[in-house]
Structure 1
């Protein structure tokens, strides 16, 4: 895998804030030509550094969505059950983020639903009807103070 250089990291920082920034704007900001920026972006997509370009929606404009953090404990660590559970979480649109973690819980889920009835239905589908899950614990978010959409990129000394 080809290494990223400081200019690549600067491009990534800009794209994480605004992936609609033109290559000319990016180039002017970091001191490269637009074609050079384009080549670097294409290369980083091919390398898998840039996984996808998405639109980040404002939940305030989509109705009153409820964000729920769920800790899930598995009954067992059998690989096939864990793999099946991961796949189910991946395929559920209301599961916005899923982390397989160490500690008391095995999974931490960030879920978004329209109402508590929808969440109740999901608890049956995802947790109660899954023989591999021992218990789950839900925390309802009162306010989203920060939602991370960008990753920190290494800083260059140059």
Structure 2
């Protein structure tokens, strides 16, 4: 949906500010980007409608909700048939402990970010998701020791376009 969208400098300034703080009041945002509040509001609505802004969420620290462990699991499928991929995607999307996932190229077919309360809950999860699934050839777990950057900020400058 976002294939042929043309963004001008005002759109880019709005996107940059919203990535910093999506809760900024429109009048304050308009002042920062040099637009009137109504013009700014119309542009934000357009950016949402055309799919440039996909969603706005609160980023919650997993530890505060009892999820102190994070892992990246690299998954290799036995075969890469479309049905197998579709079924695995549905399985991953339905699992609350899977917080991000990517179908990737290279040695692995998927990379999955999961959270766990402890190693036992992690073991139960990967057994249910991967070890007991005969469509999975192998999976490798990388335990996250420390998160170094979590912004999710998409570059807005000229190098990003």
TM-score w.r.t. length of structure 1: 0.91
Structure 2, unpaired ranges of 5+: none
With 85-94 and 27-36 compared, the bigger mean Cα shift is at 85-94
CA RMSD of aligned residues (A): 1.6
Match of 2:118 in 1: 115
Equivalent in the alignment of 1:87: 90
1:40-82 CA distance string (max 9 Å, x none): 0101111111111111112343345101011100001111001
Distance verdict in 2 for CA 1:129–1:60, change over 3 Å: closer
Residue 137 of structure 1, aligned match among 132, 135, 140 = 140
The CA distance in 2 between the partners of 1:38 and 1:148, in whole Å, is 24
Counting only pairs closer than 5 Å after superposition, residues 90-105 of structure 1 correspond to structure 2 as 90-105=93-108
Which consecutive aligned stretches of 4+ in structure 1 deviate over 6 angstroms post-superposition? Answer: none
Q: Hey, what does 2:42 align to over in structure 1?
A: 39
CA distance in 1, matches of 2:80, 2:5: 36
The aligned length equals: 156
Hey, what does 2:61 align to over in structure 1?
58
Change (3 A) 1:42 1:59: same
Match of 2:153 in 1: 150
- The 1:150/1:106 distance shift into structure 2, 3 A limit, reads same
